Amino acid sequence: MERIEGYVDHIIYRNQDNGYTVMNVIADGEEITCVGLLHYIGDGELVEITGHYKDHATYGRQLQIETLEIKAPEDELSIERYLGSGAVKGIGVSLAARIVRKFHEDTFRIMEEEPERLAEVKGISEKKAREIAAQMEEKKDMRKAMIFLQQYGISTTLGVKIYNQYGNNIYQVIKENPYQMADDINGVGFRIADEIASKVGIHTDSDYRIRCGLLYVLQQAMSEGHVFLPKEILEKRTVDLLGVSQEAVEKHIMDLAVDRKLVAKETGGRVCVYGAQAYYVELNTAKMLHDLNISCEISESAVLTKVAAIEKRTGTILDEMQKEAVVQAAGHGLMVLTGGPGTGKTTTINTLISYFESEGLSVMLGAPTGRAAKRMTEATGCEAKTLHRLLEISAVPENGADRGSFARNQENPLEADVVIIDEMSMVDIYLMHSLLLAIVPGTRLIMVGDRNQLPSVGPGSVLKDIIESKCFPVVRLSRIFRQATESDIVMNAHKINRGEHVTLDNKSRDFFFLKRDDANVIISVVLTLIQKKLPKYVHATQTDIQVLTPMRKGLLGVERLNEILQHYLNPPDPKKREREYGSSRFREGDKVMQVKNNYQIDWETRGAYGIPIDRGQGIFNGDMGIIREINTFAEQMTIEFDDGKFVEYPFAQLEELELAYAVTVHKSQGSEYPAVIIPLLSGPQMLMNRNLLYTAVTRAKSCVTVVGSEAVFNQMIDNTFEQKRYTTLKERIRELVQ
């Protein structure tokens, strides 16, 4: 470990987001480049640094900072150098010299305790003296706050967020109610607040702790897909988390309900406890769906005559249910079209577009993800946008929730007569609420999806609840069309969905099963398929072939698979720069996925010679791309996403990315790949079910290859277990109809 003491000569580079700083320090007459996370350092500071030297391939020898202490300059030369460095705005070299000549070694005491005396120096007015004093105080306060927070294990990056939120009230918040930070600051969850509280000495049965714990349990439940929790389950989870009595928890549920932080409502003979926002979002969603469901006076024969004309013009032949879908859509303000693969949903959508356009109505198309929107555009020949772009995502709300606010809403609705949304199984309750806010009654909403797919990643079971409410027109397509019957992907998907076992004799052209019973052998087969077999077979690149697995952990989980696949598909290369983040290593050329919504990050699409042709904001959970550049000096990574968006990620945001050579089946929703490989061995019953297998198989366009145990494959078909989601959208809808 090296130790140096010297002056910050100048800051070479600072990343404002994470505090990553490159600076030159003069120590014993030598100029040393130092690197570390430092939010509160400035030119001219006297510092004591410990760390170790590292040779950077591009920038040479650097001291990697382990600890840094800012020391107050004590002699006149040190004080003059500090003030003249620009560390204090408004003081240059000559003015610094005059201040020190006037006050000598007493300069800092004068500036902090008697700042009005600075006006005795030529060139400093009383106003300027006050401004200088304020700067000195602010710098002192921030340094003091950082040191205070570090004793609780809070990083500099998070510390600056906390200081910016509370200023000098930080000490009161930390010592009296650190749980307040979980409400006020994005990035401080219950776990961090609870750890700080234990260090401060706050009792485990503190009112603040129990209230914050209850809200945390509900928040975690939403990440599992629930809109509410039954009261008894909420109480048990909170008791287990906090180690307090059930009576204490029950009392605070009532208190939070009185404070309107929670809503407790009896439904179906049980007490359901919601976060207040979740309750009203679900309630308002039901109300808006009800208001859109307006019956229209139409002539069914006139509609069918127009449909016949469309069939003749396009050369398509619709079955009775497809025609029924057009009739229902023409006669109602809201309609659901559902069906499995190969049942003609796309043909029906195209017919609906043609019909409404022939009526002189404008049609708008949307889908939850970029891949789904791209597929919809290709299938219809009309532009389809992601729901976030359709609604014109603007920013993150002030409370820091993982949801955006939209420019399109009740005051500024979508300008369309008909809105058609595909892949509705992926739409959660919050996104549905935002969509409905932007659709005025009188506009037709047509929702298309496969109810047998996995539910949305976010909370709710919107499509399923709407269908099961039996309050709106629903058209189910069940006939598999002749062209689709030639695909074993389609036929086997329907068999899986019906609970029938699939013939695994490998006589198919697009559905293969390679029986292996050892995890390492399975991975070896997967690599051979990606590198040698499948690219030529499906006329695609290695990157286009997607490995889908049920689990994150385990021998065939996402984490282990990605590490191995990265090593073989994008091996280390002196020409490829890398960046470690946590347990991950990112490398130029890697396939990655965004794993949380980021509504504020900027993107651009580029034309010839890399010239930007379009710009916007927002990259969303499930978006996939390739790392094009890692810039270690600028501390950022450039990623090109599937839809051509280029995004520059500060290294501080790399927690939003994961390697994506393998992804979970849940994360693949709404996507379609030329070829899918599914490695299968034993796993948790709640995951290894029919619903998940059906979703995985239907992600493939040209080829499915399952590698693993035939017994596990059949067990998944037989396993109809689906994790129950606690939602009451169905009940809220029915209440309005009765």
The dihedral region occupied by 348, where left means phi > 0, alpha psi between -120 and 50, and beta the remainder, is alpha
Please give the angle made by the CA atoms of 233, 236 and 237, to the nearest 5 degrees: 85
Residue 189 annotated as lining a ligand binding site = no
Residue 344 annotated as lining a ligand binding site = yes
Contacts of 75 (CB under 8 A, 6+ apart): 105
Residue 342 annotated as lining a ligand binding site = yes
Give the separation between CA 510 and CA 506, rounded to whole angstroms: 9
Number of Cα atoms under 13 Å in the Cβ half of residue 77: 2
Give the separation between CA 252 and CA 247, rounded to whole angstroms: 9
Give the separation between CA 639 and CA 589, rounded to whole angstroms: 9
Residue 446 has φ and ψ, to the nearest 5°, of -115, 120
Please give the angle made by the CA atoms of 690, 696 and 701, to the nearest 5 degrees: 135
Residue 338 annotated as lining a ligand binding site = no
Give the separation between CA 404 and CA 227, rounded to whole angstroms: 18
**Total Cβ atoms within 10 A of residue 410:** 11
Residue 332: strand pairing partners: 295
Q: Is 429 helix (H, G, I), strand (E, B) or coil?
A: helix
**Total Cβ atoms within 10 A of residue 127:** 9
Give the separation between CA 190 and CA 248, rounded to whole angstroms: 18
Rounded to the nearest 10 degrees, how much is the dihedral formed by the CA atoms of 119, 124, 126, 127? -160
- The closest alpha carbon to 223, from 735, 734, 737, 726, belongs to 726
Q: Given strand 591-594, what is the order of strands in its sheet?
A: 612-619, 598-606, 645-650, 636-641, 624-631, 591-594, 657-659
Angle, helices 345-358 vs 320-331, to 10°: value is: 40
Residue 346 annotated as lining a ligand binding site = yes
Give the separation between CA 338 and CA 477, rounded to whole angstroms: 6
Parallel/antiparallel/unpaired status of strands 384-386 and 363-367? parallel
DSSP state of 501: P
Which two tokens mark 601? Answer: 């990050």
Q: Is 626 helix (H, G, I), strand (E, B) or coil?
A: strand
Parallel/antiparallel/unpaired status of strands 262-267 and 270-275? antiparallel
- Cβ proximity of 364 and 418 under 8 Å: yes
- The closest alpha carbon to 264, from 235, 222, 305, 225, belongs to 235
Give the separation between CA 86 and CA 92, rounded to whole angstroms: 6
Residue type, 238: T
DSSP state of 458: S
Q: Is 711 helix (H, G, I), strand (E, B) or coil?
A: helix
Which two tokens mark 241? Answer: 């988390």
Alpha carbon of 25 to those of 19, 41, 223, 256, 549: distances in Å?
A: 17, 12, 46, 53, 50
Residue type, 575: K
The dihedral region occupied by 28, where left means phi > 0, alpha psi between -120 and 50, and beta the remainder, is left
Annotated binding site for ATP: 342-346
Annotated binding site: 342-346
